């Protein structure tokens, strides 16, 4: 993918020249009202510190020009969904909601804190006993399977798997990109139980001409038209046959939550969450790249070359997003925390598509220096990895903690990524605000 490059000096702070480009602007780190941004950007350090409720910003000389402190970022509103706690609503038709980073501190994401991403109207009839899954298309033997058939005829496995929306981080692009304005919380790593997708496809007999899957769910289009699908995406056969993909019927040891695809869904970790069809009813194997809703045009696609911020790109110049990029998330402490002492334990997670993480580094001086955090091994392939570090602060004042992960191929998160029209794949550093003393 376009952002899978190896930086020459991964721990070097971005140059002033690079930061002056709007595609890499600090403004794309947080969505702030333009008028408010103008006022903040014109403040002196003393005024800024005063508004932050501290006497000093110790490393202010390292702050990139135009940087807007994380503490000035706007918030959102709470969403009340049965079985979900503390999620932030992005829109209600369809329902989409993200989880604040500090509520993702668990090593395995509780069902109550798993984000919601809908494209249509969820089905009202989700009787697990009567549910059937069809496997057809270019196969030797089409199958119709109940959930009990899946449990009886295939090995049942449980795995911790990351699902992340391809638009996670869209809110931080400048100029703005259309779509749900996700910040950080359209990601989760729950424990999923089901059967391997590859085992089921092998049982149907994958014909040599099969090149792509096509996934179909029971959700309906917002227009109410029965002949329109809200979304139907797929993956190349090679990805579909990977061992980590599941047809899942349980989440964290219980039945799936209705907003997370009950009673049956795909989990295709490491690729955009849109590949993990919810309310799964059919998997069709095709001899062409699937062209269902949200597979064509600019949906879940990025330009095939670097483009200038705001540049118009022809539809034929977009390519399908496959693996998700390297990323990290600070989950403790919550941003805008006030601490009384001079140290705090910092915790979080890191992940990188279908790769593992080799290191996570933290900075408290706006990227001038970095400290390696302790990093755990993944519980299984395609699970996120946890990091922690006791961070000490030299004096009282306002600080930002920045996190940067590096994956098993040596690819690190950038300070800011190149702009793209749909606001996908934003894996810039996660930043939180801390007030000390």
Residue 8 belongs to some domain of the structure: no
What integer pLDDT is reported at residue 21 of this predicted model?
33
Residue 436 has pLDDT above 70, yes or no: yes
Instruction: Among 257, 289, 320, give the residue marking a domain's end.
Output: 320
CA distance 85 to 218: 25
Confidence of residue 15 (pLDDT cuts 50, 70, 90): very low
Residue 297 belongs to some domain of the structure: yes
Residue 30 has pLDDT above 60, yes or no: no
pLDDT tens sequence across 358-395: 999 999 999 999 999 999 999 999 999 999 999 999 99
**84 close to 113: Cβ distance less than 8 angstroms:** yes
Same domain as 356, residue 310: no
Same domain as 341, residue 316: no
Same domain as 314, residue 335: no
Residue 237 belongs to some domain of the structure: yes
What integer pLDDT is reported at residue 419 of this predicted model?
96
What phi, psi does 112 have (nearest 5°)? -65, -15
Question: 192 vs 9, which has greater pLDDT?
Answer: 192
pLDDT tens sequence across 214-263: 999 999 999 999 999 999 999 999 999 999 999 999 999 999 999 999 99
What integer pLDDT is reported at residue 45 of this predicted model?
74
Residue 340's domain spans which residues?
A: 16-76+324-436
Q: Which residues contact 15 (CB under 8 A, 6 or more apart)?
A: none
Same domain as 373, residue 292: no
Instruction: Among 296, 320, 344, give the residue marking a domain's end.
Output: 320
Same domain as 189, residue 72: no
Residue 300 has pLDDT above 50, yes or no: yes
pLDDT tens sequence across 320-346: 999 999 999 999 999 999 999 999 999
CA distance 350 to 334: 17
Residue 76 has pLDDT above 50, yes or no: no
Residue 104 belongs to some domain of the structure: no
Instruction: Among 320, 354, 371, give the residue marking a domain's end.
Output: 320
DSSP secondary structure letter of residue 291: -
pLDDT tens sequence across 83-108: 888 999 898 889 999 999 999 999 99
Any idea what the CATH number is for the domain that residue 68 is in? 2.60.40.650
Same domain as 370, residue 237: no
Closest among 430, 431, 427, 432 to 412, alpha carbons compared: 427
CA distance 356 to 378: 8
pLDDT tens sequence across 151-174: 999 999 999 999 999 999 999 999
What integer pLDDT is reported at residue 68 of this predicted model?
77
Same domain as 339, residue 282: no
Same domain as 220, residue 281: yes
Give the predicted TM-score (pTM) of the model: 0.85
């Amino acid at each position: 993918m376009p952002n899978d490059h190896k930086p020459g000096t991964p721990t070097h702070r971005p140059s002033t020249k690079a930061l002056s480009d709007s595609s890499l602007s600090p403004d794309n780190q947080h969505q702030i009202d333009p008028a408010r941004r103008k006022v903040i950007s014109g403040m002196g350090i003393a005024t800024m510190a005063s508004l932050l409720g501290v006497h000093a910003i110790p490393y202010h000389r390292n702050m990139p020009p135009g940087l807007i402190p994380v503490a000035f970022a706007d918030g959102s509103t709470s969403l009340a969904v049965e079985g979900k706690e503390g999620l932030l609503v992005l829109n209600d038709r369809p329902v989409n909601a993200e989880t604040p980073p500090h509520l993702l501190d668990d090593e395995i994401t509780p069902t109550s804190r798993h984000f919601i991403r809908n494209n249509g109207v969820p089905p009202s009839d989700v009787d697990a006993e009567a549910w059937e899954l069809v496997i057809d298309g270019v196969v030797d033997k089409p199958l119709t399977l109940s959930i009990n058939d899946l449990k009886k005829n295939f090995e049942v496995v449980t795995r911790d798997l990351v699902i992340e929306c391809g638009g996670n981080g869209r809110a931080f692009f400048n100029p703005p990109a259309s779509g749900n304005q996700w910040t950080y919380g359209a990601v989760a790593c729950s424990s999923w139980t089901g059967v391997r997708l590859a085992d089921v496809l092998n049982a149907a007999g994958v014909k040599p001409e099969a090149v792509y899957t096509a996934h179909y769910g029971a959700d309906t289009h917002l227009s109410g038209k029965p002949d329109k699908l809200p979304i139907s995406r797929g993956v190349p056969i090679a990805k579909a046959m990977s061992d980590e993909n599941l047809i899942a019927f349980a989440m964290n040891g219980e039945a799936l939550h209705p907003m997370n695809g009950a009673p049956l869904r795909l989990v295709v970790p490491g690729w955009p969450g849109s590949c993990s069809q919810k309310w799964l009813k059919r998997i069709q194997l095709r001899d062409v790249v699937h062209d269902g809703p949200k597979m064509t045009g600019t949906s879940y696609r990025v330009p095939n070359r670097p483009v200038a911020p705001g540049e118009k790109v022809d539809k034929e110049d977009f390519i399908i997003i496959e693996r998700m990029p390297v990323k990290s998330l600070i989950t403790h402490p919550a941003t805008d925390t006030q601490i009384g002492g001079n140290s705090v334990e910092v915790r979080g997670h890191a992940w990188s598509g279908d790769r593992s993480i080799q290191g996570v580094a933290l900075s408290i001086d706006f990227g001038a220096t970095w400290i390696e955090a302790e990093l755990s091994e993944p519980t299984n392939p395609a699970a996120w990895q946890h990091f922690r570090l006791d961070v000490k602060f030299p004096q009282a004042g306002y600080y930002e903690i920045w996190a940067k992960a590096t994956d098993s191929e040596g690819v690190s998160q950038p300070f800011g990524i190149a702009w793209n029209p749909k606001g996908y794949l934003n894996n810039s550093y996660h930043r939180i605000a801390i007030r000390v003393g």
